[in-house]
Amino acid sequence: MCMVIFAPLFAIFAFATCGGYSGGLRLSVDCVNKTESNLSIDIAFAYPFRLHQVTFEVPTCEGKERQKLALIGDSSSSAEFFVTVAVFAFLYSLAATVVYIFFQNKYRENNRGPLIDFIVTVVFSFLWLVGSSAWAKGLSDVKVATDPKEVLLLMSACKQPSNKCMAVHSPVMSSLNTSVLSEIQSGKALKKRKRVATVTGL
């Protein structure tokens, strides 16, 4: 019963920490001519992490001319798949919990209930594995694309030694790291429930 309870809890953490994420970084470009500098360049991004659509402007340190740039990458497919699997796994776990608690006698009447439960649990276990692997790779790409050092390399002004470019603050990724761990734990809980269903018919 504990694993039935833990699976939806882990699923909630997975889609809440990923689907509700928004973050950002701040950079500064200090030109030789101080009037051309911008010491507070804010770049915000959020789920579903279509980073190539995140645009921002930076000084070129060549008069008033500005350079328009965009972050690199698109992790929306892996992020959206991750969240979708988490949401459906939560709903299924919730429904299964209700059946186990209130309709256990009907559930045990024939083999159809346990068989369906087993098949669905196997499918979700597989989707959890695929989703967590895809999102782990997607998260790695997001971290690289939003690394201030990588973003500074895109700026033409930062290629001139006379200009000083630096990161003011980096994005906080702790909740995204939690989302991957939560999905892995939820997948383990589903697998345990699958083994129990096989052995006991529950």
- Every domain of the chain and the residues it spans: 1-173
Tell me: the pLDDT tens digits for 45-75?
Answer: 999 999 999 999 999 999 889 999 999 999 9
Flag whether pLDDT at 201 surpasses 50: no
Q: What is the mean pLDDT of residues 81-104?
A: 84
**Most confident among 3-7, 113-117, 170-174 (mean pLDDT):** 170-174
Give 113's contacts (C-beta < 8 A, 6+ positions apart).
99, 106, 107
Place of tokens 């991004």: 45
Taking Cα atoms as reference points, which of 148, 142, 139, 141 lies closest to residue 43? 148
Confidence of residue 96 (pLDDT cuts 50, 70, 90): confident
Confidence of residue 44 (pLDDT cuts 50, 70, 90): very high
pTM over 0.75: yes
Q: How many CA atoms lie within 13 A of 134 on its CB side?
A: 18
Tell me: the pLDDT tens digits for 140-196?
Answer: 999 999 999 999 999 999 999 999 999 999 999 988 888 877 655 555 555 555 444
Higher pLDDT, 84 or 198: 84
- CA angle, 148 then 151 then 154, to 5°: 155
The chain-wide mean pLDDT, for the chain, equals 84
Are residues 189 and 10 in contact, defined by beta-carbon separation less than 8 angstroms?
Answer: yes
Structure tokens at 5: 């309870």
Flag whether pLDDT at 197 surpasses 50: no
